[in-house]
């Protein structure tokens, strides 16, 4: 027995098949680069930012010198009861494998850009890069500590990634340098509903809020953008495509489920006859 499917049912099946498939036009990165074009090694990338110290930063500062005993007072341990007058906060490190506790304590930069450092007292580091801050503290230590070497790093260098990514959230970056692509990878990459052609980076600089829009389908625009290298406290927002609304609509999902059941029943009938 031969069963002829109604044209309406055939049209419905075709519509469901095509509507469930996401076009690579909206998913693939770097679409402007041909597969047959070799790397020209052209210098396109923007320069990474050199972060500066500001209020609410948390700094890990270690001091060493010719004599470990002489440097010890400048490196209070967390078990030292007197350390509470100097230490402002602790930190955690967020990586690909989740949030990891960082038991080291850091110096909290106050509203005026200063820290309370052991022995030396109040030191103003506002607006300085890490290298400049290291030189400043080393200079202050010279009279009392021979061959002083100071190392400083941020404990709360963080970025926030929101929108259509697999793992949205705030991430602390251990090495103080990260690109937009690395940030998206850290968040598990975009979902298929993310707008590759319109990724927004929100940045606050000198009290002003800046907005950068980046087209990930355009490599030249991406790698030359001043927002390619992210800066501390940047927020990356991946906007959803309009198709996300269709896919998340409960009524549509219910209708698709009903249609799938009908198609399954029709398929059984066709197989039996």
41, 176, 193, 252 from 248: Cα distances, Å:
43, 37, 11, 8
Question: Who wins on pLDDT, 214 or 259?
Answer: 214
In this prediction, residue 106 carries a pLDDT of: 86
- Judged against a pLDDT cut of 80, whether residue 87 lies above it is answered with no
CA distance 270 to 264: 10
Q: In 10 A of CB 25, how many CB atoms?
A: 10
Average pLDDT, the chain: 76
Percentage of the chain exceeding pLDDT 70:
62
Domain 31-49+157-241 matches domain 58-154 at the CATH topology level: no
Of 3.10.560.10, 3.40.50.150, 3.30.390.30, 3.20.10.10, which CATH number belongs to 31-49+157-241? 3.10.560.10
In this prediction, residue 103 carries a pLDDT of: 36
- Judged against a pLDDT cut of 50, whether residue 39 lies above it is answered with no
Question: Who wins on pLDDT, 129 or 266?
Answer: 129
CA distance 83 to 75: 9
- Judged against a pLDDT cut of 70, whether residue 42 lies above it is answered with no
Locate the domains of the chain by residue range: 7-24+245-272, 31-49+157-241, 58-154
pLDDT per residue as tens digits for the range 137-159: 999 999 988 889 999 999 888 99
In this prediction, residue 125 carries a pLDDT of: 96
Nearest to 59 by CA among 159, 145, 119, 137: 137
Cα–chain center distance at 81: 36
54, 59, 229, 266 from 179: Cα distances, Å:
21, 22, 4, 51
User: In this structure, which topology does domain 58-154 adopt according to CATH?
Assistant: wza like fold (3.30.1950)
Average pLDDT over residues 236-248: 75
Indicate the pTM of the whole model: 0.64
């Amino acid at each position: 027995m031969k069963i002829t499917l109604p044209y309406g049912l055939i049209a419905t099946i075709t519509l469901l098949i095509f509507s469930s498939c996401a076009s690579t036009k909206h998913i693939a990165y770097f679409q402007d680069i041909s597969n047959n074009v070799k790397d020209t090694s052209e210098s396109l990338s923007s320069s990474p930012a050199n972060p500066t110290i500001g209020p609410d930063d948390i700094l890990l500062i270690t001091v060493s010198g010719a004599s470990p005993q002489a440097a010890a007072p400048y490196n209070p341990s967390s078990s030292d009861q007197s350390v509470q007058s100097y230490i402002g906060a602790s930190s955690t490190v967020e990586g690909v494998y989740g949030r990891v506790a960082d038991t080291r304590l850091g110096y909290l930069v106050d509203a005026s850009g200063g820290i309370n450092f052991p022995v030396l007292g109040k030191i103003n580091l506002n607006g300085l890069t890490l290298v400049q801050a290291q030189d400043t503290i080393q200079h202050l230590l010279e009279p009392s500590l021979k061959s002083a070497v100071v190392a400083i790093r941020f404990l709360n260098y963080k970025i926030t990634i929101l929108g259509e990514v697999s793992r949205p959230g705030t991430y602390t970056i251990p090495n103080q340098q990260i690109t937009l692509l690395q940030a998206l990878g850290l968040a598990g990459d975009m979902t298929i509903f993310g707008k590759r052609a319109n990724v927004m980076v929100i940045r606050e600089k000198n009290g002003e809020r800046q907005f950068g829009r980046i087209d990930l389908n355009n490599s030249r625009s991406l790698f030359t953008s001043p927002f390619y290298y992210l800066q501390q406290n940047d927020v990356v927002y991946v906007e959803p495509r309009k198709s996300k609304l269709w896919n998340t609509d409960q009524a549509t999902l219910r209708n698709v489920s009903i249609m799938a059941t009908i198609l399954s029943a029709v398929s059984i009938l066709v197989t039996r006859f």
